[in-house]
Structure 1
Amino acid sequence: MFRSVVFDIGETILDDTREFAAWADWIGVPRHTFSALLGIVVAQGRNNAETFQYFRPGFDMETERGRREASGVGEQISQDDLYPDVRPALAELRTRGLWVGLAGNQTVRAASLLRQLDLPVHEIATSGEWQVAKPDRLFFERVTAWAPGHAQEIAYVGDHRDYDIVAARAAGLQPVLIRRGPWGHLWADDPVTTANAFGVISSLTELPDLLRPAPVS
């Protein structure tokens, strides 16, 4: 049934705790305050980037990201930022004959940092490299052109109801929601998720038994 499985990155592969803490420090807001307001924004179904506007009206993410990099406190990704189930789950999926990729709304730098981790995946791509971001349908058309198989043979695993599950389903892919991070926990039992997801999991180690590889013709 499946030939490929593609993973979102933030709060699916990576624990974003350190990056959110770095942003709180950068804008001079206590970390617990930033996290609490982020939770409110998430619960309202809004984009997490809106959190910054409460603290700094007119906040421009790309400008501030560049300033962080120039100041030497830019984006970092290490083995410690990976959820513990990531490597064993990705390796098992490959062992079972599935093509494995990572593709999410991240920067060009994030793609480079992820490649340095030598994860058991075939390819890694980010919206920064593709110049198109979720939930744009063009993002998922890139996923379909990139990963082996027809759209219905590609699973897309993520934590966000609208950006990952609904958008992937609309493009013909088979979305799986992981109950992880604020978005995954908020929307795991949401009726929209239930109507659109191929499955809901609590750990990536559940995926190998959920996804059956399609015979290669």
Structure 2
Amino acid sequence: MIRAVVFDVGETLVRDDRYWTAWADWLNVPPHTASALVGAVVAQGRDNADALRLIRPGIDLATEYAARDAAGRGEDLDETDLYDDVRPALTELRDLGLRVVIAGNQTARAGELLRALDLPADLVVTSGEWGVAKPAPEFFRKVVEAAQAAPAETLYVGDHPANDVTPAAAAGLRTAHLRRGPWGHLWADSPQVTEVADWRISTLTALPPLLTA
């Protein structure tokens, strides 16, 4: 029985469109160039930040984040960045009595912005705040603590096989792969998903019926 549902953030709850467009503007390249390079590194199984390293070899991302903040062009999230199914799905899960947690690989600033959206969740936390990121086992140990449920009673929902499905399953959690965003679509039919994920979904609103069946 599932008692807690934990969600990834990027391309699970939040569209990454504006994130990559902002980086393209900052690095002075067309948005389609950044998008194409993100797609290329995704297909190669590389970290999506490698797209920025291809645009500007040797880039120091921490320095660039700080420079963007100083220029008033730092991270931003608002209601328009959320996928349409986020609030309905999270609300229904909470109405079912499940604990809802949001925990993904984001900066501490992104955590602040997510909490400001007042999402229907019991806890919102990021890797930047925890000091450990997916797919590290320690991240998923913290997920279990945040869920306040046993691993087998905790469901982790995400789009990325290597960052979400595989390490969550290795930690003893149940998993749901979301076919959304470049990672979700590209790897949806890979053995990493088909042989590991407990559920495969295309919308978050599919979760409540699955968990109450």
Give the TM-score range, shorter chain. Answer: over 0.9
Cα-Cα RMSD = 1.0
Contact 1:10 1:104 in 2 (8 A): yes
The equivalent residue for 2:127 is 127
* Structure 1 residue matching 2:66: 3-state secondary structure: helix
For the pair 1:41 / 2:32, whether they are aligned, the reply is no
For residues 39-82 of structure 1, give each alpha carbon's deviation from its aligned partner in whole angstroms, at most 9, with x where no partner exists.
11111111111111211111121111111111100000000000
Alpha-carbon distance between aligned partners in 2 of 1:45 and 1:108, rounded to the nearest angstrom = 25
Contact 1:2 1:212 in 2 (8 A): no
Contact 1:5 1:99 in 2 (8 A): yes
Unpaired runs of at least 5, structure 2: none
Unpaired runs of at least 5, structure 1: none
Following TM superposition, the consecutive aligned residue runs of length 4 or more in structure 1 with deviations greater than 2 angstroms are none
The equivalent residue for 2:210 is 210
The equivalent residue for 1:139 is 139
Alpha-carbon distance between aligned partners in 1 of 2:156 and 2:61, rounded to the nearest angstrom = 26
Contact 2:101 2:146 in 1 (8 A): no
* Structure 1 residue matching 2:102: 3-state secondary structure: strand
Alpha-carbon distance between aligned partners in 1 of 2:67 and 2:211, rounded to the nearest angstrom = 42
The equivalent residue for 2:92 is 92
The equivalent residue for 1:183 is 183
Quote how far apart the aligned CAs of 1:212 are: 3.7
Q: Percent identity?
A: 56
TM-score (norm 2): 0.98
Contact 2:104 2:127 in 1 (8 A): yes
For residues 91-136 of structure 1, give each alpha carbon's deviation from its aligned partner in whole angstroms, at most 9, with x where no partner exists.
0000111100100001111111111111111000000110000000
Q: Which has the higher contact order (CA 8 A, sep 6+)?
A: 1
* Structure 2 residue matching 1:196: 3-state secondary structure: coil
* Structure 2 residue matching 1:76: 3-state secondary structure: coil
The equivalent residue for 1:156 is 156
Alpha-carbon distance between aligned partners in 1 of 2:78 and 2:87, rounded to the nearest angstrom = 13
For the pair 1:4 / 2:1, whether they are aligned, the reply is no
TM-score (norm 1): 0.96
The equivalent residue for 1:111 is 111
The equivalent residue for 1:76 is 76
Q: Which moved more, 1:55-64 or 1:124-133?
A: 55-64
Alpha-carbon distance between aligned partners in 2 of 1:124 and 1:81, rounded to the nearest angstrom = 16
Alpha-carbon distance between aligned partners in 2 of 1:97 and 1:201, rounded to the nearest angstrom = 21
Q: Which moved more, 1:4-13 or 1:37-46?
A: 37-46
Quote how far apart the aligned CAs of 1:205 are: 0.3
